Amino acid sequence: MWLLDQWAERHIIDAQSKGEFDRLPGTGKPLVLDDDSHVPLELRAGFRLLKNAGCLPPELEQRREAIQLLELLTGIRKDDPGYQEVSRRLSLLELKLQQAGLSTEFLHGEYADKLLHKVNDE
């Protein structure tokens, strides 16, 4: 065992003996582990850090922005001066998603209506 591992292990054992782990949230419950088997081993730690920090991959961030623009468009009248600008931004974002090889079906049809309804209810 490496020196650092021994040091960490000693501190963990000391904390356990003092009862510092007794009342932690989730004590006695099984761990919920994310399935990251599709992520290369060398990238897992970095991805987990970004996920825990609330960062999304660029594609998902663009999808979220597209949904927000679509929601904004439904609340603006077509004769409003800002409608064209929002519509243009949404079209550009949709084109970027398509060029990245991602589906934009979530912006059209029945799924889009359900999504907007859910977003408006929250």
Question: Does 2 reside within a domain?
Answer: no
What pLDDT is recorded for position 121?
64
Domain that holds residue 97: 58-121
Q: What is the mean pLDDT of each run of 10 residues along the chain (122 residues)?
A: 86 93 84 81 87 83 88 85 89 89 79 63 59
How far is it, in rounded angstroms, from Cα 95 to Cα 104? 9
pTM of the shown model: 0.52
**Residue-wise DSSP of the chain:** --HHHHHHHHHHHHHHHHTTTTT-TTTTSPP-----TTS-HHHHHHHHHHHHTT---HHHHHHHHHHHHHHHHHTS-TTSHHHHHHHHHHHHHHHHHHHTT---GGGSHHHHHHHHHHHHH-
Question: Does 34 reside within a domain?
Answer: no
Domain count, the chain: 1
Question: Does 102 reside within a domain?
Answer: yes
Question: Does 75 reside within a domain?
Answer: yes
